[in-house]
Amino acid sequence: MSSLKLSTHMELRKAFGRNPWFWIALAFGVFLAVWTAIVRSELFFSTLEMALVDWQRKEVGYSTVGAYALWMPVRPDDLAPGIFRMVWPILAAIPYAWSWSAEMRSGLIEQECVRAGRRVTVASKWIAVFLTGFAIIAVPYTVNLLCNLCIEPAMPAWISDGLYAGVLKYAPFSSLFYNKPLAFCVLWTFITGVLGGLWATVVAALSMVAGSYLPTLVASYLSLHIFAFLGEQLQMYFNTYTDSPYSALLSLDVLSVVSVRANGGSGVALALTVLALVVLSIIPPVALRKRDLL
């Protein structure tokens, strides 16, 4: 246990210390979060002005323009949240997912395996890669929520305004959003952070097999768009011939999984995505543990 603790500490220092890739990716995510908060504040103040001037009311319900209803993953269709939704796999994988393949080629991994053991080396690096990916998602979402709370009132959205708030009954944990919105935001930040961390470990694990990081990053990211395209074709087919509603499960859209989706099957799609990422992040290191590739 002491060797795992020491090895993990060293990896975390490399991942979060003087690692420009981590800070650049984090800064870009935070920039999008602040940009989103500024744009959403205009919606809030325009609603306030309408209430005072046009509606002749001093008190108005801010159900759909409160801090929680304007949170970044709840309304992902604006420009800045849309960019974040499209690039989060790249942002999550840039900070430290490259370390496995790079240190394999340099021979550093072999030295660490001799000193700490293969299992400890892989586990400590998996933890460091996961935490960098986790932070890339969780920190911007947290910053955006804090900015919202400094501008808009922290009032829960009304269930009667669910259509306008964008969180319908199909959305995961939708009842929590309307009853305890702060708990919902904390839970969703944690879940999406886990998704970001798992994606980073998947890219790192696949680069371990391929022996090169950049082609793995590009291929894995493009695969998400291919899956989304195939899912769109499936949706069109089922909508045309079976008259079935839009399904998040059939869409195969992993890019949008960090946003709160109100379509049918959203909860199942989220659970399956987490499960698939866990499997893909663990199998390559375990399969190659006893080989010289490590």
138 residue type, one letter: A
Write out the E strands in 117-271. none
pLDDT tens profile 246-268: 777 778 888 989 998 877 788 88
In this predicted structure, the answer to whether residue 186 has a pLDDT above a threshold of 80 is yes
pLDDT value, residue 42: 82
22 neighbors 95 (Cβ within 8 angstroms) = yes
196 neighbors 134 (Cβ within 8 angstroms) = yes
> Would you say how long the chain is, in residues?
294
Strand partners of residue 247: 264
Based on C-alpha coordinates, what's the Rg of the chain? 21
pLDDT value, residue 222: 95
Q: How far is it, in rounded angstroms, from Cα 54 to Cα 77?
A: 28
In this predicted structure, the answer to whether residue 244 has a pLDDT above a threshold of 70 is no
Q: Rounded to 5 degrees, what are φ and ψ at 77? A: -95, -5
- Spans of all domains in the chain: 2-288
Biggest CA pair distance of the chain: 75
Q: How far is it, in rounded angstroms, from Cα 193 to Cα 176?
A: 19
Instruction: Answer with the residue of higher pLDDT: 122 or 35.
Output: 35
Instruction: Answer with the residue of higher pLDDT: 159 or 27.
Output: 27
Instruction: Answer with the residue of higher pLDDT: 23 or 14.
Output: 23
- Using a pLDDT cut of 90, give the percent of the chain over it: 38
In this predicted structure, the answer to whether residue 293 has a pLDDT above a threshold of 50 is no
pLDDT grade for 27, boundaries at 50, 70 and 90:
very high
